[in-house]
Amino acid sequence: MQTVPLHDIEAARRRIADRIVATPTVSSTSLSERFGVPVHLKLEQRQITGSFKLRGASNAIASLSPQEKARGVVAASTGNHGRALAHAARLEGVRAVICMSKLVPANKVDEIRRLGAEIRIVGNSQDDAQVEVERLVADEGLAMVPPFDDPAIIAGQGTLGLEIAEAVPNVATVLVPLSGGGLAAGVAAAVKGLKPSAKVIGISMERGPAMKASLDAGRPVQVKELPTLADSLGGGVGLDNRLTFAMCRDLLDDVVLLSEDEIAAGIVHAYEQEREIVEGAGAVGIAALLAGKVKPSGPTVLILSGRNIDMGLHRSIVCGTVEAERAA
Ligand SMILES: *Cc1c(COP(=O)(O)O)cnc(C)c1O
């Protein structure tokens, strides 16, 4: 199997050390008392740009050749990967082009432009934006930086696993938000590389869990994309997936799916008990414990992966003025 070895993750850590924040790992009193085991929160939502995606993007850009850096990078993400790539490229003095469809809301476009990226608005779908990415790769020689299925991205996300294994040396279980699997593959490779007895469990939403469906089918499959509070976990794994599908198949001990109500309860707990603002994708570890879908049996680490949620939506969730099913 093609994988990402531990020493690549350690090299990524040295490469990005002065580009990212080594976020704190803190003990959760409320969850530890409730579940009778030490529960720790990896506060990665406090990462620069508001998510762990900066780790992979920084490593991918730092790994480019001088010629590639001179030409620039391109991606089609309007979410956390796009933000991270824009920021990381600007820091490195590299041109970044982010392609998006006409349907992307103006506030998201402005945010990514503010982070220093050039914006290309093309067509009416993510697929149209991806066609423009491929054109820029072919015509202008830009380097495409994929959101998860890439060795430099996986190694960058894996640096989070190194920090977890150091902060909690007796860790028994790590709960990882799971979409395309770059985070889960990198974290599992790092944590299990340092501590083979640790278990790593992926958490997705019931509404469109592409990796879970693919693992069940034994190969990458497409699922219908549905609105969800965990919007950063939407999207497919790619039918031509090279790395993350096999790594998740071989390294994850289990994958758990959550309802919208359960995800909302995770956001509320993070805010009221932990005093942390997290987006839906960042709340799924807490949510899985609260829902009883993961029974922790030893020191457990939950990755709060991001905080980029619309604050009006966040307010209505914590005030309980909107039903979770309708909120997304
Ligand atoms: C991208 C993202 C994930 C999922 O990461 P994958 O590598 O695609 O599995 C989880 N949480 C947040 C906040 C994200 O932005």
For ligand 1, the distance from its centroid to the CA atom of residue 205, given in whole angstroms, is: 12
Contacts for 286 with CB less than 8 Å, ≥ 6 apart: 31, 41, 266, 269, 270, 274, 302, 304
Cα torsion 215, 216, 218, 221: sign: negative
| Per-residue pLDDT at 127 exceeds 90 | no
Ligand 1 pocket test target in 44, 80, 211, 241 with most atoms within 8 Å of CB: 80
CATH fit for domain 6-51+150-327, picks 3.40.50.150, 3.30.70.1060, 3.30.465.10, 3.40.50.1100: 3.40.50.1100
Instruction: Give the pLDDT band of residue 308 (cuts 50, 70, 90).
Output: very high
Instruction: Give the pLDDT band of residue 108 (cuts 50, 70, 90).
Output: confident
Rounded average pLDDT over 100-119: 89
Written as one letter, the residue type at 44 is: E
| Amino acid 250: pLDDT | 98
Q: How are the residues of the chain apportioned to helix, strand and coil, as percentages rounded to the nearest 5?
A: 50, 15, 35
| Fold agreement between 6-51+150-327 and 54-144 | yes
| Per-residue pLDDT at 323 exceeds 80 | no
Kindly report, residue by residue over 172-198, the tens digit of the pLDDT.
999 999 999 999 999 999 999 999 999
Between 127 and 86, where is the model more confident? 86
φ and ψ at 282, to 5 degrees? -80, -10
Rounded average pLDDT over 42-51: 98
For atom 14 of ligand 1, the residue with the nearest CA is: 232
Ligand 1 pocket test target in 23, 48, 51, 187 with most atoms within 8 Å of CB: 51
Rg (CA), the chain: 18
Domain limits of the chain?
6-51+150-327, 54-144
State how far the Cα of 276 lies from the Cα of 278, in Å rounded to an integer. Answer: 6
φ and ψ at 173, to 5 degrees? -145, 135
**Ligand 1 site, residue 229, Cβ cutoff 6 A:** no
Count of H helices and E strands in the chain?
Answer: 15, 10
Q: Does pTM top 0.85 for this prediction? A: yes
- What would the two tokens of residue 253 be? 């001990």
**Ligand 1 site, residue 54, Cβ cutoff 6 A:** no
Q: 54-144 has which CATH code? A: 3.40.50.1100
